[in-house]
Structure 1
Amino acid sequence: MGEAAVIWGRLTSAFLLNCKLFGLTLLFALPLGLVIAFGSMSRFAPLRGAVKTFVWIIRGTPLMLQIIVIFLGPGLLGFKTPWPSNSSGRMMAAVVAFVINYACYFSEIYRGGIESVPKGQTEAGQVLGMTKSQIFFKVTLLQVIKRILPPMGNEIITLVKDTSLANVISNKEIIMMAKEYSAKGLIWPLFSTAIFFLVFVGVLTVLFGWAEKKLDYFR
């Protein structure tokens, strides 16, 4: 029991890294995704083309590859690496990679939600003398939130599980910790990681279900 308690405690501590990566990714990727979405809808063709190309590259390549390139790329190209040499440097690189990746996915969800709102509502707001910002925040935004909530929820739940990819640059998250114990002949820590992810995903599923019901009045 003593050894099992110690292992469980270490798994819990390792999962905090997954949670930290999850929280930081959402904190920065959600607003950045909106900025990218506006760039992809820009009337300035060169900007729109550049943003769409960048999004295509990020969405078309594996997140694991992006993590490795962002962490090792500067050094391999002969530049001074921007990441500290300790564990915080590996964590910073993982956060940057996750933020860029998920911001691009979120941007497409934002763009689809914004473009799905009937243009007649924007025109009606203009007739009433509302500014573009007033129309966006008072007419468009809440409808966009309702429309994007299911796909956004799917991406956020995927993010929970993708945090395990951080171990590709030796971030000691929960699966990496469990693999170390499995190498010592203990299999149960590896399967126990499922409990952490299932509970986390279960809580998010309940929250998104509650939020969708709260926004039912937009149907």
Structure 2
Amino acid sequence: MSTLRIAATPLLRRDETITVALLLAFAGGCLDAYTWIIHGVMANAQTANLVLLWVHGMEGDWMRALQFGPPILAFAIGIVIAAWLRRATGERASAVSTLLEIVFLITIGILHNRMPEVAGTLGISLVAAMQAAIFTKVEGATYSTVMITGNMRQAIEGMFAAASGGVAAGTLRRSGIFTGVCCAFGLGAALGALTTKTVPDLALGLPVIVLLIVLLRCEAAHFEAKS
């Protein structure tokens, strides 16, 4: 007598939902706008920092060039911390990482008046790296919460594939998700720029609030699993 086995459909991880992806992209845009306006460097886009470092270096302006070095180094350290968190905390890495990001941003806001360069360029790049390394998927698809280049490429490819016909089910939906993430990042950059220019001392409060919402959603999934 054969036994009927029904494969259970795996539940979507809470940290891979569209809501979390949009919130994190919004926070990423806020942080990039803040560091560019205040410090003239990018928190997330290390490609831009590296290019500007060598552009100014080749012009002989090494004092200006070297200001792009610390955020690159801080980003690398953030990646290492994220890798350690994944190994140490397993399924709870997303919640623990988000909590640390919130603590770092609050600390940066407090220290910014006394040590603006250290707090701003190093701290925020470290936060951005942790977010980029921990939150890597939305509904199973690889994406980025701190830059839009790859997201834009996948959105356009999906639209083209859908328009050409003969694509797998869900392609257009996935393209819409990537488009939404790009728009959320842009909205975060716009509001981040606005708050940075109008109330610079409170500007980091916006991404902190967004990350608190992400943390609550990640923790809700943890408590649901325990109950």
TM-score, with structure 1 as normaliser: 0.31
TM-score for the superposition, normalised by structure 2? 0.31
Larger radius of gyration: 1
Higher relative contact order (CA 8 A, sep 6+): 2
Higher helix proportion (structure 1 or 2)? 1
